[in-house]
Structure 1
């Protein structure tokens, strides 16, 4: 009898690993959101939404992606839109971050296990910092969302004739969607009708960038914005690479689409520049679009594929493999080409385990994307560039689409749901959740070098 109880305790102990709890919590929230969206009260017509469509929409909102299979404003009722908004906010905070906050408010203190859960979700430096991290996440999110909502509310009310109540609803919805890098919009054309309006596009773009930088970077900038030399290596890499990718993306997309009458070509010159910048911001994993993505040139799609796969900063609301992973891999390659025995960046040496983590994340991401592309190509008639764009957008939790999402079969929607779930939690977190236990090696094998290349 004692051995049976001991066996059950070991099972529960394995399941209680923080990474597995995060996966289970996200899965539970996903199911709950899908159930709510499947209710007749969640639709304008008062009819049930098909299970796959409800599940897909719930996953897209919880994983802060933005891909849709039905028109958000036309299909969902006010209740349904509020469910989507709640899932977006929940996904942005992180299920464990929000749960940790509730525990803190109720008990006034956090147990060690709860801190470990919060650490796993927020990538904080250690268990002791989890309480500060959770409160900082909430304060930062609400502050940026509130500031963005105020600007948008005023613009919708004064510039587009919306009542103040409706303007406030639109402002809050799109502010939350922007900061959490979700990309859900309440118009059939997303934000195309506002392509030349800087009072709509710029606040949303700023919120997207802020959310995509990651909470550690935002906190450090708040404390040390006057002293760049004191910034951590993580902040320097995130800001530098994000700025470079944003600038390069703006130049490439604007140049390629400049004369395209289906996108930028029909806009005045200031509008082209604004729309080009806006579209370069969105692949850092927000799914808003101010031009018709389906009308873009294939070169633009490929450029956006690369930007989406890299994504934004770590410990934020962005997806992708993250800019730090991309930068570290570039540094590792450069050091190997130079024959350096150690990998150094900005006068700091990179630990070997960090290099392995970056390589693992990137290769797992490539493998997942290739598998998704192959699957969709076998079950749909769409072209490779269309399918690749859709798969990368789902995995990187971006939400941009060439317009084929709603036309995919149910199996394709299920596959994209899985990709969004994996992309939100991260390959390493999901892998750790599925692993039974960590195995320590107590011996070393003889060394032998195979031929490489």
Structure 2
């Protein structure tokens, strides 16, 4: 007589299998759940009396906002980050920033790789959701992308190693300059490490009492910070490709080329715009010499990409400069990077589509490669969801505060693009407006495509095609 096989799986093993199945089948929802759980955990930790210097429980609005800003590597603040939080609070923020920088799905896969010394198909599917937004939904995805499924193990190693090495090198490069300023070895070590981590992760938190003020005109210090922000903003898939083919540009993927070219173009255009618009503004850098004006313009252009540091009061910028900053922050950095925004490749795809339409060609092409139409659809979706998020949040914050539109729009886009620059509105806003900005940060970091895919749950298969009819456009 046949007997039923006995299951020797423990309860913990069954739970783990259920989680693996859910993560592999719906990575978008899994990412949102994990992000939400992390925000709640860090809100609890930062709310403890041990986390701040007052010895009292942290107000919920401040704990929640700081937790979201930390996990989403944004940098917007409601309290003085250097003086309000205790050493324990700073340690919690450091850990949260590193987690948020690599992405929760990537971090989970890295831990799995370390523990089991192997990477299964489920873990690869989960990790690839962080490296390629086109994979956040069910269904087939073409492998002609920056990182293929079979290369995910190498990408995870690249993420872990590059973060450690780059942050260490940046800290070492900053250390001599900081030591000459503080004359204290341990203090200089803390300051240089803090700026290294917060710049590479594109967070922009200032955890030291004097902030960046002592180095506001220092060419070496600001240049290193800009390089660190740039490296964090280009994205880990770019590191992965360059690490293998640094001296062979012909083997660079289209994603790498579009990311680097678009990033450089936006940086140069932003520098020129800020230089011209703030040239005669004595409240910012209009009273400095030509070299300093160029340095400050470059620094501001790079920080609006998602860096978050500022050497002067952002509220003193001309309205025209604030608008330029809005545009740069909305675009953000590269895909699968520590930066936010709609991403530079999204902007590049939209311009390529516009050029193709102007030339009368049926397909988008760049660097001798044809770009499929589904990439354009995702790009349009990202922009529309991003614009809708920004518009909704701006209306709500305007209703909840008495601030002007230019300042509200700047801080809202900074929250969505996880930039961290602020006109001062965020810190002085009522709790209700801060909650709106926190939700905006969350939506900007998790990603508009991820949110949309989570709502859709899966790709619906349509077995028929309706009759075609063209509406009038334009």
Give the TM-score normalised by structure 2: 0.90
Give 1:395-414 correspondences, 5 Å limit: 395-414=416-435
- Determine if the alignment matches structure 1 residue 202 to structure 2 residue 223: yes
Give 1:5-16 correspondences, 5 Å limit: none
* SS of the residue 1:382 aligns to: coil
Residue number in structure 1 paired with 2:351:
330
How far did 1:126 drift? 3.9
Residue number in structure 2 paired with 1:41:
50
Residue number in structure 2 paired with 1:3:
none
How far did 1:80 drift? 0.8
- Determine if the alignment matches structure 1 residue 156 to structure 2 residue 171: no
CA distance in 1, matches of 2:214, 2:285: 13
How far did 1:291 drift? 1.9
How far did 1:225 drift? 2.7
Residue number in structure 1 paired with 2:462:
441
How far did 1:94 drift? 1.3
CA distance in 2, matches of 1:314, 1:436: 22
Residue number in structure 1 paired with 2:94:
85
CA distance in 2, matches of 1:415, 1:23: 18
* Aligned partners of 1:66 and 1:400 also within 8 Å: yes
Q: How many residues align?
A: 444
Question: Alpha-carbon deviations, 1:336-382, whole Å to 9, x = none?
Answer: 12222222222221101011111111111111111111111111111
Residue number in structure 1 paired with 2:402:
381
* Aligned partners of 1:193 and 1:290 also within 8 Å: no
- Determine if the alignment matches structure 1 residue 132 to structure 2 residue 132: no
More divergent stretch after superposition (325-334 vs 113-122): 113-122
How far did 1:266 drift? 3.6
CA distance in 2, matches of 1:301, 1:249: 11
CA distance in 2, matches of 1:11, 1:319: 27
Residue number in structure 2 paired with 1:5:
none
* Aligned partners of 1:19 and 1:117 also within 8 Å: no
* Aligned partners of 1:195 and 1:274 also within 8 Å: no
How far did 1:429 drift? 0.9
Residue number in structure 2 paired with 1:31:
40
* SS of the residue 1:349 aligns to: strand
* SS of the residue 1:160 aligns to: helix
How far did 1:12 drift? 9.7
CA distance in 2, matches of 1:139, 1:436: 33
More divergent stretch after superposition (102-111 vs 391-400): 102-111
- Determine if the alignment matches structure 1 residue 96 to structure 2 residue 117: no
CA distance in 1, matches of 2:452, 2:183: 47
Q: Which structure 1 residue ranges, 5 or more long, are not aligned?
A: 1-8
Cα 1:429–1:310 shift into 2, 3 Å: same
* Aligned partners of 1:64 and 1:92 also within 8 Å: yes
Residue number in structure 2 paired with 1:415:
436
CA distance in 2, matches of 1:204, 1:85: 18
* SS of the residue 2:31 aligns to: helix
How far did 1:24 drift? 1.0
Cα 1:368–1:271 shift into 2, 3 Å: same
More divergent stretch after superposition (410-419 vs 119-128): 119-128
Q: Which structure 2 residue ranges, 5 or more long, are not aligned?
A: 1-16, 133-145
CA distance in 2, matches of 1:10, 1:106: 19
- Determine if the alignment matches structure 1 residue 451 to structure 2 residue 460: no
How far did 1:407 drift? 1.4
Give the TM-score normalised by structure 1: 0.94
1:21 to 19, 25, 30: 30
* SS of the residue 1:279 aligns to: helix
CA distance in 2, matches of 1:237, 1:125: 15
* SS of the residue 1:185 aligns to: coil
Alignment RMSD:
1.9
* Aligned partners of 2:314 and 2:422 also within 8 Å: yes
Residue number in structure 2 paired with 1:50:
59
Cα 1:126–1:230 shift into 2, 3 Å: closer
How far did 1:95 drift? 1.5
